[in-house]
């Protein structure tokens, strides 16, 4: 090898070490590696930054906006609400949960899908007497498996497809062809079905039996909040239990007011009517969850004047100070809405139960207010003498329920467009993202904020590093060294080597980066031995989504680790066999499905 190849190999080793060390961000590590390659002249500036203009990088960013539109309108909740239901056993609960999660993840980025289910999963498990620790890890794994079934299911698939297109345009058109919308489904769907069967059949034995998620404090900060049943809503005519308002985690329904009637001992069979006023008492997380239930709106005369702008607002906690002009005045007398352009949803006072309407509560120093206000309220009033402490909860005040089906139709159009014209995936994603904004499924400000720039930087930089590996012929040298032991085997043995290396790389760095770095190595290895490359590309894409054995192998694994109370051993025990199963399916089916 030339000195440039040795230099690039050294930079690659340092990069992997930095990612394993985890003291600096992945985006910073990749940019440092790219800078080192530029300084040595291994890469020209145009080659180094070409990845940031790659259609795959832009498409990944646009799909964040599409997922945002579905989340802000409650579109994903609308799709899955009826599917969860009231399961009678753990296996039925897993089936009801994992099926819609996998289906959604095939068309929406995995992270927002898992994020949508996390806040409600504990409560759903509690209401159905289920062990939540046996649901969180399968939730993450189902999202990962579902994302491996379509071109847009995960950003890794887009990265691999763009590399296929790039190599085809560089003279390898006879060896490979770009993926279509459902190309991966020939292997991904069987892997998904076997993975779901594995999780449902073994979850009871391999997942921890004790629910180790953080319990609700014995003396939590409890709010009293009044909600009103909105006229024309879907919960009218349903019982308390049917509407999902019974056995809420950390929240209970204390009474109902209906005209001149007041019900204190509320039966689960009580039927809801329009304009019923419901009084709930609970912790802030549960009150936030209550805000997301379609058909319920906060019962305060302040909210009526702001109802048209509720979807653009956020929930905030603020503690009233001694110097506040609100002290010793009722909420109504203090003209809170006019003064602060915000409304008080609930009030907490040192464990004391506060009765009466929100507008009639006389505020005292130390009262904690749950507010609904504009984005940026917390920053604007953080140093105000009126409040001791102001913090914003990173959730919308209420989904845009009226636009839920608009968002779902936009997603359906995106899927149809890519299925018909897979080569125009970026164009379809751009149109879908802009439609989400134009139709007010989300705002432009929200769209700019939701994009995970760290992910995009890592992908763009990984393309540049992969180019350096090819330019210096380091990819060929690594292929001979790392995969050379599979040459004596048939094609399935070679695929096994590529799958194994991809999984190992994904376990120490991001899946997108692992796919981008292993691609040129696998490409050289396959072409040098006269093998069609598409089966190898599929193994890379699926292998990069099959890091089930460690919590750091995939972002959604980290998301469920805390709520599920898992340790590294839990992931290895439950996820290790699944990684092997998915690999076997991929290695056996890829040559049959794509030739070889």
Average pLDDT rounded to a whole number, residues 344-351: 74
More confident residue, 210 or 438: 438
Task: Tell me: pLDDT of 215 over 50.
Answer: no
Pick the closest to residue 394 from 345, 437, 440, 449 (CA basis): 449
pLDDT in tens, 136-173: 999 999 999 999 999 988 888 988 998 888 877 765 54
Q: How far apart are CA 373 and CA 375, in angstroms?
A: 7
- Say if residue 346's pLDDT is above 90: no
Higher pLDDT residue, 221 or 548?
Answer: 548
> Residues 56-93, buried b or exposed e (16+ Cβ, 10 A)?
bbbbbbbbbbbbbbbbbbbbbbbbbeeebeebeebeeb
Alpha carbons 272 and 257: distance in angstroms, whole number: 11
- Dihedral of alpha carbons 431, 187, 179, 477, sign: positive
Nearest C-alpha neighbor of 560 from the set 132, 200, 193: 132
What percent of the chain is modeled with pLDDT above 90? 18
* pLDDT at 483 (0 to 100): 77
- Please work out, in degrees rounded to the nearest 5, the angle formed at the alpha carbon of residue 289 by the alpha carbons of 286 and 290: 90
Asked whether the predicted pLDDT for residue 537 surpasses 50, the reply is yes
- The per-residue pLDDT for 127 is 67
Tell me the average pLDDT across 255-270: 78
Q: Are 318 and 389 in contact (CB under 8 A)?
A: yes
277 against 185, higher pLDDT: 185
**Radius of gyration in angstroms for the set of CA atoms belonging to the chain, rounded to a whole number:** 27
What is the arithmetic mean of pLDDT over 399-403?
74
Give the pLDDT confidence score for residue 123 in this predicted structure: 63
pLDDT at position 287, please?
66
First to last CA, the chain: 31
How far apart are the C-alpha atoms of 316 and 380, rounded to whole Å? 12
Instruction: Please state, in angstroms and rounded to a whole number, the distance separating the CA atoms of residues 347 and 565.
Output: 31
Is the pLDDT confidence value at 279 over 60? yes
Break the chain into its structural domains and give their ranges.
313-397
Confidence of residue 214 (pLDDT cuts 50, 70, 90): very low
Residues 172-206 have pLDDT tens digits of 545 567 788 899 999 999 999 999 999 999 988 88
pLDDT > 70? residue 213: no
Which of 578, 590, 496 has its CA nearest to residue 545?
Answer: 578
Q: Are 180 and 151 in contact (CB under 8 A)?
A: yes
Tell me the C-alpha distance between 381 and 16, whole Å.
Answer: 43
Q: What is the mean pLDDT of residues 325-330?
A: 88
Across 351-363, average pLDDT: 72
Phi, psi values for residue 263, rounded to 5°: -110, 120
* pLDDT score for 33: 92
- At residue 581, the pLDDT reads 96
pLDDT at 216 over 60: no
pLDDT at 32: 93
Query: What does the alpha-carbon distance between residue 30 and residue 18 come to, in Å, rounded to a whole number?
Result: 9
Give the best-scoring range by mean pLDDT among 36-45, 465-474, 521-530: 36-45
Paired tokens of 169:
């345009």
pLDDT class of 120 with cuts at 50, 70, 90: low
Q: Which residue has the higher pLDDT, 120 or 520?
A: 520
* DSSP letter (8 states) at residue 553: G
pTM attached to this predicted model:
0.68
62 vs 175 pLDDT, higher one: 62
Instruction: Say what the pLDDT of residue 247 is.
Output: 62
The predicted model gives 484-509 an average pLDDT of: 83
Q: Across all residues in the chain, what is the average pLDDT? A: 81
Tens of pLDDT along 217-261?
Answer: 444 456 677 788 888 887 888 888 778 776 666 667 777 888 777
Measured between alpha carbons, how far is 78 from 65 in angstroms, rounded to an integer?
Answer: 18
pLDDT band at 102 (very low <50, low <70, confident <90, very high): very high
Which residue, chain included where needed, has tokens 């292993």? 518
Residue 179 is classified by DSSP as -
Q: Give the C-alpha separation, 474 to 525, whole Å.
A: 12
Taken in order 260, 262, 266, 267, the sign of the CA dihedral is negative
Q: Which CATH number fits domain 313-397: 3.30.70.1450, 3.40.30.10, 3.40.50.720, 3.90.400.10?
A: 3.30.70.1450
Q: Are 155 and 512 in contact (CB under 8 A)?
A: yes
CB atoms within 10 A of CB 443: 16
At 37, give phi and psi (nearest 5°). -70, -35
Range with the largest mean pLDDT of 424-428, 470-474, 579-583: 579-583
Q: In whole angstroms, give the CA distance from residue 341 to residue 241.
A: 35
């Amino acid at each position: 090898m030339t000195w440039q190849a040795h230099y690039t190999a050294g930079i690659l080793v340092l990069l992997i070490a930095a990612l394993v060390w985890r003291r600096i961000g992945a985006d910073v590590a990749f940019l440092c590696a790219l800078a080192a390659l530029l300084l040595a002249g291994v890469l020209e500036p145009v080659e180094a930054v070409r990845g940031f203009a790659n259609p795959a990088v832009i498409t990944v960013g646009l799909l964040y906006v599409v997922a945002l539109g579905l989340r802000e309108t409650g579109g994903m909740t609308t799709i899955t609400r009826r599917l969860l239901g009231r399961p009678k056993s753990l296996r039925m609960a897993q089936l009801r949960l994992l099926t819609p999660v996998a289906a959604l993840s095939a068309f929406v980025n995995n992270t927002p899908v898992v994020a949508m289910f996390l806040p409600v999963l504990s409560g759903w498990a509690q209401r159905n007497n289920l062990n939540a620790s046996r649901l969180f890890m399968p939730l993450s794994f189902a999202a990962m498996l579902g994302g491996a079934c379509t071109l847009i299911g995960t950003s890794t698939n887009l990265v691999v497809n763009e590399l296929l297109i790039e190599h085809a345009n560089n003279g390898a058109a006879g060896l490979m062809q770009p993926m279509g919308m459902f190309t991966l489904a020939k292997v991904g769907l069987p892997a998904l079905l076997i993975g779901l069967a594995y999780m449902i059949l073994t979850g009871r034995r391999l997942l921890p039996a004790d629910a180790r998620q953080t319990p609700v404090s014995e003396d939590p900060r409890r709010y009293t909040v009044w909600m009103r049943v909105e006229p024309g809503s879907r919960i009218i005519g349903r019982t308390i239990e049917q509407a999902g308002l019974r056995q809420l985690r950390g929240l209970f329904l204390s009474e109902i007011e209906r005209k001149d009637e007041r019900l204190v001992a509320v039966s689960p069979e009580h039927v809801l009517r329009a304009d019923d006023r419901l009084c709930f008492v609970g912790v802030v997380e549960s009150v936030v969850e209550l805000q997301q239930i379609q058909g319920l709106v906060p019962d305060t005369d302040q909210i009526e004047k702001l109802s048209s702008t509720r979807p653009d607002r956020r929930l905030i906690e603020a503690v009233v100070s001694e110097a506040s002009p609100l002290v010793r005045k009722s909420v109504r007398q203090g003209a809170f809405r006019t003064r602060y352009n915000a409304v008080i949803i609930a009030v907490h006072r040192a464990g004391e139960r506060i009765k009466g309407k929100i507008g009639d509560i006389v505020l005292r120093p130390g009262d904690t207010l749950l507010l609904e206000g504009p984005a940026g309220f917390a920053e604007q009033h953080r140093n105000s003498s009126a409040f001791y402490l102001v913090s914003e909860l990173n959730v919308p005040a209420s989904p845009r329920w009226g636009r839920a089906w608009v968002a779902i139709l936009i997603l359906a159009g995106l899927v149809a467009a890519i299925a018909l014209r897979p080569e125009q995936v970026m164009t379809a994603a751009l149109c879908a993202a802009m439609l989400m904004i134009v139709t007010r499924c989300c705002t432009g400000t929200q769209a700019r904020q939701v994009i995970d720039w760290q992910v995009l930087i890592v992908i763009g930089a990984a393309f540049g590093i992969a180019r350096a590996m090819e330019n210096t012929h380091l990819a060929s040298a690594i292929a001979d060294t790392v995969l050379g032991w599979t040459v004596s085997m048939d094609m399935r043995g070679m695929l096994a080597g590529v799958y194994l290396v991809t999984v190992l790389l994904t376990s120490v760095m991001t899946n997108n980066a692992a796919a981008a770095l292993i691609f040129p190595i696998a490409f050289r290895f396959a072409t040098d031995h006269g093998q069609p490359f598409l089966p190898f590309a599929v193994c890379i894409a699926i292998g990069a989504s099959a890091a089930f054995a460690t919590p750091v192998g995939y972002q959604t694994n980290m998301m469920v680790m805390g709520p599920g109370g898992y340790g590294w051993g839990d992931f290895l025990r439950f996820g290790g066999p699944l990684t092997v199963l998915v690999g076997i399916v991929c290695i056996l089916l890829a040559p049959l499905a794509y030739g070889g």
